[in-house]
Amino acid sequence: MAGTVCIHDLYFRRLMDGDAIATRVRTLGEEVSRDYAGKRLLCLAILNGSFIFAADLLRVISMEVDICFIRLSSYSGADSTGKVTTIFGLTENIAQRHVLLIEDIIDTGKTLHELLPVLHEKQPASLQVATFLSKPGARRYPIEASYTGFTIPDQFVVGYGLDYNGLGRNLPDLYIRTTEEPQE
């Protein structure tokens, strides 16, 4: 796979390859399997970005696991409380379940800052987060995941499920935004 790719109007350089990602995801899967040994886990994977990470993580988790794919939409509420997170596709009752939320990337932390209280209200037995990526330098809300694949600089990334305006999700490697054009 090329070292630099052009998507729409932007260039991205390869940050890590699919083999390094697979190795790290395997380790995360082993940690999850150890921590939840003997329990039945319910994974909630947030679409679209986490679909590849979720598929790979699930295949290296060894105990019983259910998966549910959810989609989020935020809108301004009619009252002064502001943003309300709506969850689409949550077909499982999460009360008394051990829930692992699977996210592609934690950037400012806003998405999870809004989503986690909504899920906690449904009274799961436990609620943890597994994220493929984290950008600590971009954080505006105090959100940390229990399982983080990689921490990365505060630059836009694509590949391994993440997109730039719809494209790049199918790239097996992870690419980060660069202003340098390829030398060819």
Report which residue's Cβ sits closest to Mg ion: 49
- Choosing from 57, 106, 129, 130, the residue that interacts with ligand XMP (CB under 6 A) is 106
**CA 152, CA 5: separation in Å to the nearest integer?**
19
Q: Which does 149 bind (CB under 5 to 8 A by kind): ligand XMP, Mg ion, none?
A: none
Distance (Å) of CA 49 to CA 54, 102, 120, 151: 9, 10, 23, 17
- Choosing from 31, 35, 92, 163, the residue that interacts with ligand XMP (CB under 6 A) is 163
Contact positions with Mg ion (CB under 5 A) in 50-79: none
How near is the Cβ of 73 to Mg ion at its closest, in Å? Answer: 12
Is 119 an interacting residue with respect to ligand XMP (CB under 6 A)? no
Q: Which residue has the tokens 């630059």?
A: 155
For residue 93, whether the previous peptide bond is cis, meaning omega lies within 30 degrees of 0, is no
Sign of CA dihedral 116, 108, 160, 30: negative
Edge-to-edge strand ranges of the sheet holding 174-178:
4-7, 10-16, 174-178, 157-158
Is 124 an interacting residue with respect to Mg ion (CB under 5 A)? no
- Choosing from 29, 49, 124, 149, the residue that interacts with Mg ion (CB under 5 A) is 49
The residue count for binding Mg ion (CB under 5 A) is 2
Binding residues (CB under 6 A) for ligand XMP: these are 49, 103-111, 156-158, 162-163
